[in-house]
Structure 1
């Protein structure tokens, strides 16, 4: 099984015509991106009880992640978890275990993972669940991407939902480097800031690096996915962080891994 999978990975990775199709698809998606606030809800302040009672506030935030088994890297579990922004409780969760035929190719993660995650969103919408997310947080990048259209952009446009990319590692685009970001975070002028913009050599703002919890030494990297500004993205991510990673994504990661492990144990017992 592993041998055939490795062979397939090499074949697809070197298939320039397939990658050219992906590039064309990314170009089409990129033209549809909305990089400013485009939603009807409002972002409530944490200390405003009266605001929280308003029905037009952001309340249901989705987090998505895909987990893999080390033994079978093509076997994956996609997870969609919806968090109540007021209570931080999980109010809904969806999972799907799939055998992925498309390998991971740098810059094209969306073509591997997006179909699984879009299927979970479609399932919620089709069944008319009351907790369908008003906003989607994605374990991946938005415009902070070599072609400016990462997984968060892909999902946001395809599902027509405001989306935010939250990366644990920095995409080295437009001259951005880990060491350069670290120096900015540690600079005296930024000592009291928990968020700094990620500005490339061309002057483009690609996103923001955020030390999301007190004393955190590892920043997370926030970028626009679709239909939301960077300022609003940072505000919402900060609001959702109990730990380094915002709660919707953290819960999606924990629960998708747990779901896979339980499935694996049940198969071994049979």
Structure 2
């Protein structure tokens, strides 16, 4: 089978993560808090659960559903050449992937391999940065590249769109697929403050086809000016979009809900509308 072309330099991502001055960050905090809420709404036991993410020490050691507490087996993303970590032991009732899918080169293959490690009626949950994340920064650099260099360069990574999520889950063989999005607007004093935080989070340009020379002061200044002109609030602070896409699907099992067969309805829609 032909491998998809590499978009992300995962070895570079691992080096960026290793150089971070501190492992904690507000993006991970948001995602883990949302994960806790989503698990807490489930009435389900997960005897064997695994979680994958770029910050191993930040991943929770346990989780809580509405019916029981369980232990997570934790695995580091970007820790080796293989995009899917080597999950150990028996197959799982729950696999969670946080902030990894947005930098995976073979998304269908990644989902299929995780699905293969789930038991029947097992749940796959994924949180990834969505397509609108940092759209303001992307547009600012496009304008700066056109002004300073006369053309565009790849500086902000492409990310998954929520509208594609359900189809990807179904392609991986998962039932009852759900895709939704959480959008947050974060504000910074200046565009340079945003760029500095991205670098501190290990989120510098991860693309294989990235410019091979550091951005010049003239380019950075042009990008900051374009950003300020397009996306500054009246108080001078700039806005940055953070979009978290959540995907979930279950391995098929006979106990799950199934759609009714066509023609099996006992009430006509016209009758219901006529009574309204």
TM-score with structure 1 length normalisation? 0.26
> What's the TM-score once normalised by structure 2's chain length?
0.26
Larger radius of gyration: 2
